[in-house]
Chains A and B, each alone.
Chain A
Amino acid sequence: MASRRTFLKAGAGASLVLALGGGVYRAIQSTRPAPPRQPFALAGEAHAALAAIVPAVLEGALTAGAGGDAARATVVDDVHRAIRGLPLATQKEVQDLFGLLAMAPGRRLLTGIAGPWAGASPAAVHTFLQDWRTSQFGLLRAGYAALHDLVLSAWYAAPGSWDAIGYPGPPLVAAP
């Protein structure tokens, strides 16, 4: 915790990581034999990062509805689908954001989470989101905002979330 905060105060170094991180991740990804225009997909640690972030953002909402892992997996899938509907340039930006989270140095320095995402405690994920939310770095605040909007949109767009908030859903429209 202390070392991360110290690093974040270092400023220039953090900016450099932010600027380079996405590009490095993309370079690594692009050396893999993948056909062009493959649908956006998060793999490995990037996928694990999203799977860890979803329950933190939806704490209090996910548990209120139908249970656990299946609901979380549906949200992760819906976030993927939402990203695939964005312009290609935006998809690249989202890929870069998760690229940062997927690489161990980026994850450690920018989120303070020491080990792989699958083992990250909900409290640690909550803390990193809270730090990004009011960070001195615009890129981290924007990253938080993207995660906030992607996860909350996926959840509240789904009819399964509506009962808990008292939304009856759209009315029936038909010719009289």
Chain B
Amino acid sequence: MSMPLPDPVALGLARGWDVVDGAALAADRTFDADVLIVGSGAGGGVTAEILALSGLKVIIVEEGALKSSRDFKMREAEAYPALYQESAARKTRDKAINILQGRTVGGSTTINWTSSFRTPASTLAFWRQRHGLATYNDAALAPWFDLMEQRLGVADWQAPPNENNDLLRRGAFHLGIATGTIRRNVRGCWNLGYCGMGCPTNAKQSMLVTTIPSALAHGATLLTRVRAERMVIKGERVQHLVCRALGADGITPSGKTITLRARHFVVAGGAINSPALLLRSNAPDPNYLLGRRTFLHPTLVSAGLFAQRVDGYAGAPQSVYSDHFLTQAPVDGPLGFMLEAPPIHPVLLATTLAGFGAAHAETMREFAHIHGLLALLRDGFHPDSTGGSVTVKDGAPVLDYPLHASLWDGARRALLAMAEIQFAAGARSVQPAHEMAGPYTSWAEAKKGIADLEYRVHITRIVSAHVMGGCMMAGDPERGVVDPDGRYHALTNLSVHDGSIFPTSIGANPQLSIYAIVARMASTLAASLTGKPAVRPMAEA
């Protein structure tokens, strides 16, 4: 008989953490705090810990439920509905782009694939030059990256890459394309490969097992299954936040209202939900910037079929990357892209593969031999790449993301690059995620086929796991929603602390950018609210 692993969240609850499940509320409630934080993901988690350590009374409100390692069964059937926005099927308005985003305590950090990159220097340079963000330079941010890397165990991945990642390394090597090893935020990782369904061993240093428990241990209150509906604003101040408790299904409002009052409010619901909350609240937006410039790293996918087993479901999902194609042109030139490998799980693969019926079933029978590659397009730099816009319809956020010629040009180059690498690694055939493509059995055939493909919405498969922007920061109040410290330009007691503040995409997986930039913002905020220097978070011994 095997023993279950210890679950730090279950232990914390037993020790008396103040966690209120909205679905269990029998009556309307009102809560008071020094700081109210909307969202428990990368931005909300880091903010909550720093403020709570600094002696402030913090309330965190989360729309998702509190799930932890005892609930994480490594099954897509359970994980996607329970842990993701819209059951992992969130989409842009025209349904052209499927978006993976977390909706649980810990937000996307609970279900991400642990890839940790510092913000690329070229991205920060662009922000300084084009968006007036003078304090965003490598030297000023380095201590914050150091701090959060230590806090969250970000380190080089020591184990050999799994075959799915090693094929990227080998294929690129044959073509003279440099690759690197991805750093990961894990401690004592079992190398299982199920990060995307919630880490069953608590090795992943997500907000769920780091900053949120730390904040709760320092007196914070966590409200779960509670939807932030709108802030009530009078003059230059947010008065309170009106929330709706959700029912046991986590979707339908139960009819109970929760009123949250605080000195200061931090919005950290993630890009899409953060601008939507501000729009529902009629927050002042004199320059019509709210919800604009929303970026996705629009991502192309290519499947390669190999003679040997790849077993892409097993082992650390992302350990090899190549930024070669981000460096071939100026940052604002033709769209560059990052290459990475995705984990291969049955539902993820079946829904990404184009086609249906017998041909689809035949490809699925090769499941264990399929290699996946991703190309993440760096949006927000090219003059045509102005991103999408979030609006609100019947209270729900809608993201419109037009796909321009410059993006389709990048899509074509990305599918070509991935097919060439897969053939160089020994693929028997390559099938780009495109309704009219392949399978191709040689690089020569793929080269011609992919170049001649039609590129348009739905026909070319595009996905996203990185939503950024919509509450962009800028030095000039007329050009940004928030200032470089995350303070909302037109309101005195409101900040935005999540990926929505980025004025462009990052050009790499964004979690570490959010951790470090928000750690700096939260420390500045804590100091201004307490009159003392912020307390620095430390990793547990």
From A59, A152, A166, A172, B367 is in contact (CB under 8 Å) with A166
The answer to whether A174 touches B356, judged by C-beta atoms less than 8 angstroms apart, is no
Q: Is B538 an interface residue (CB 8 A)?
A: no
Q: Is A56 an interface residue (CB 8 A)?
A: yes
Cβ contacts B354-367/A at 8 Å (1 or 0 each): 01111111101111
A residues near B349, Cβ cutoff 8 Å: 156
| 11 further contact pairs, Cβ within 8 A, besides A164-B364, A175-B6 | A57-B356, A60-B362, A87-B86, A129-B356, A133-B435, A134-B459, A148-B356, A170-B73, A172-B2, A175-B2, A175-B3
Report the separation of the CA atoms of residues A120 and B393 in the bound assembly, to the nearest whole angstrom: 37
Give residues of chain A (74-89) contacting chain B, Cβ–Cβ below 8 Å. Answer: 82, 84-89
Report the separation of the CA atoms of residues A4 and B80 in the bound assembly, to the nearest whole angstrom: 38
Cβ contacts A22-61/B at 8 Å (1 or 0 each): 0000000000000001000000000000000000111111
The smallest beta-carbon distance between A66 and chain B, in angstroms, is 15
Q: Is A70 an interface residue (CB 8 A)?
A: no
The answer to whether B367 touches A61, judged by C-beta atoms less than 8 angstroms apart, is no
From B76, B357, B367, B459, A157 is in contact (CB under 8 Å) with B76
B residues adjacent to A (C-beta < 8 A): 2-6, 73-77, 80-81, 86-87, 89, 94-96, 98, 190, 192, 194, 200-201, 249, 251-252, 313-314, 346-347, 349-351, 355-362, 364-368, 393-394, 396, 435-436, 457-459
B residues near A138, Cβ cutoff 8 Å: 94-95, 457-458
B residues near A87, Cβ cutoff 8 Å: 86, 251, 396
Q: Is A108 an interface residue (CB 8 A)?
A: no
- How many cross-chain pairs have Cβ atoms below 8 Å apart between A and B? 137
The answer to whether A156 touches B356, judged by C-beta atoms less than 8 angstroms apart, is no
The answer to whether B95 touches A145, judged by C-beta atoms less than 8 angstroms apart, is yes
The answer to whether B361 touches A88, judged by C-beta atoms less than 8 angstroms apart, is no
Report the separation of the CA atoms of residues A60 and B192 in the bound assembly, to the nearest whole angstrom: 30
| Given A85-B87, A138-B457, A156-B346, A56-B351 contact (CB < 8 Å) | no
The smallest beta-carbon distance between B96 and chain A, in angstroms, is 8
Report the separation of the CA atoms of residues A170 and B200 in the bound assembly, to the nearest whole angstrom: 11
The answer to whether B368 touches A167, judged by C-beta atoms less than 8 angstroms apart, is yes
From A90, A146, A156, A164, B347 is in contact (CB under 8 Å) with A156
Report the separation of the CA atoms of residues A57 and B6 in the bound assembly, to the nearest whole angstrom: 42
From B5, B81, B356, B362, A85 is in contact (CB under 8 Å) with B81
A residues adjacent to B (C-beta < 8 A): 37, 56-61, 64, 82, 84-90, 126, 129, 133-134, 138, 141-142, 144-146, 148-149, 151-153, 155-158, 161-162, 164-167, 170-175
A residues near B96, Cβ cutoff 8 Å: 142
Nearest B residue to A91, CB-CB: B251
The answer to whether A82 touches B435, judged by C-beta atoms less than 8 angstroms apart, is no
Determine chain A's interface SS by DSSP, over half rule. helix
Of the candidates A61, A161, A162, the one having the most CB atoms from chain B within 10 angstroms of its own CB is A61
The answer to whether A162 touches B346, judged by C-beta atoms less than 8 angstroms apart, is yes
The answer to whether A82 touches B4, judged by C-beta atoms less than 8 angstroms apart, is no
List 8 tightest A-B contacts by C-beta distance, closest first. Answer: A60-B361, A174-B2, A170-B74, A157-B77, A141-B458, A60-B358, A165-B367, A142-B95
The answer to whether A156 touches B458, judged by C-beta atoms less than 8 angstroms apart, is no
Report the separation of the CA atoms of residues A158 and B351 in the bound assembly, to the nearest whole angstrom: 14
Q: List 16 A-B contacts (CB under 8 A).
A: A84-B249, A86-B89, A86-B251, A87-B86, A138-B457, A138-B458, A145-B95, A149-B351, A153-B76, A157-B75, A157-B347, A164-B364, A167-B367, A172-B2, A173-B5, A173-B192
A residues near B357, Cβ cutoff 8 Å: 56-60, 126, 129
Determine chain B's interface SS by DSSP, over half rule. loop
The smallest beta-carbon distance between A24 and chain B, in angstroms, is 19
From A133, A145, A173, B200 is in contact (CB under 8 Å) with A173
From B190, B194, B368, B393, A166 is in contact (CB under 8 Å) with B368
Of the candidates A129, A138, A151, A152, the one having the most CB atoms from chain B within 10 angstroms of its own CB is A152
Report the separation of the CA atoms of residues A87 and B5 in the bound assembly, to the nearest whole angstrom: 33
The smallest beta-carbon distance between B197 and chain A, in angstroms, is 8
From B74, B252, B361, A171 is in contact (CB under 8 Å) with B74
The answer to whether A58 touches B351, judged by C-beta atoms less than 8 angstroms apart, is no
B residues near A61, Cβ cutoff 8 Å: 360-361, 364
Nearest A residue to B367, CB-CB: A165
From B2, B81, B194, B351, A170 is in contact (CB under 8 Å) with B194
The smallest beta-carbon distance between A148 and chain B, in angstroms, is 6
Nearest B residue to A157, CB-CB: B77
The answer to whether A82 touches B81, judged by C-beta atoms less than 8 angstroms apart, is yes
The answer to whether B87 touches A152, judged by C-beta atoms less than 8 angstroms apart, is no
The answer to whether B4 touches A175, judged by C-beta atoms less than 8 angstroms apart, is yes
The answer to whether A86 touches B87, judged by C-beta atoms less than 8 angstroms apart, is yes
The answer to whether A165 touches B365, judged by C-beta atoms less than 8 angstroms apart, is yes
The answer to whether B346 touches A165, judged by C-beta atoms less than 8 angstroms apart, is yes
B residues near A60, Cβ cutoff 8 Å: 357-362
Report the separation of the CA atoms of residues A31 and B77 in the bound assembly, to the nearest whole angstrom: 35
The answer to whether A82 touches B87, judged by C-beta atoms less than 8 angstroms apart, is yes
Report the separation of the CA atoms of residues A164 and B362 in the bound assembly, to the nearest whole angstrom: 10
The smallest beta-carbon distance between B460 and chain A, in angstroms, is 11
Report the separation of the CA atoms of residues A59 and B147 in the bound assembly, to the nearest whole angstrom: 53
The answer to whether A165 touches B368, judged by C-beta atoms less than 8 angstroms apart, is yes
B residues near A148, Cβ cutoff 8 Å: 351, 356
Report the separation of the CA atoms of residues A64 and B364 in the bound assembly, to the nearest whole angstrom: 12
A residues near B361, Cβ cutoff 8 Å: 58-61, 64
Nearest B residue to A147, CB-CB: B356
The answer to whether B3 touches A174, judged by C-beta atoms less than 8 angstroms apart, is yes
B residues near A166, Cβ cutoff 8 Å: 365, 367-368
The answer to whether A173 touches B458, judged by C-beta atoms less than 8 angstroms apart, is no
A residues near B76, Cβ cutoff 8 Å: 153, 156-157
Report the separation of the CA atoms of residues A133 and B89 in the bound assembly, to the nearest whole angstrom: 18
The answer to whether B346 touches A171, judged by C-beta atoms less than 8 angstroms apart, is no
The smallest beta-carbon distance between A96 and chain B, in angstroms, is 13
The smallest beta-carbon distance between B256 and chain A, in angstroms, is 15
A residues near B393, Cβ cutoff 8 Å: 89
The answer to whether A157 touches B346, judged by C-beta atoms less than 8 angstroms apart, is yes
A residues near B73, Cβ cutoff 8 Å: 170
The answer to whether A171 touches B350, judged by C-beta atoms less than 8 angstroms apart, is no
Report the separation of the CA atoms of residues A156 and B349 in the bound assembly, to the nearest whole angstrom: 9
The answer to whether A152 touches B3, judged by C-beta atoms less than 8 angstroms apart, is no
The smallest beta-carbon distance between B24 and chain A, in angstroms, is 19
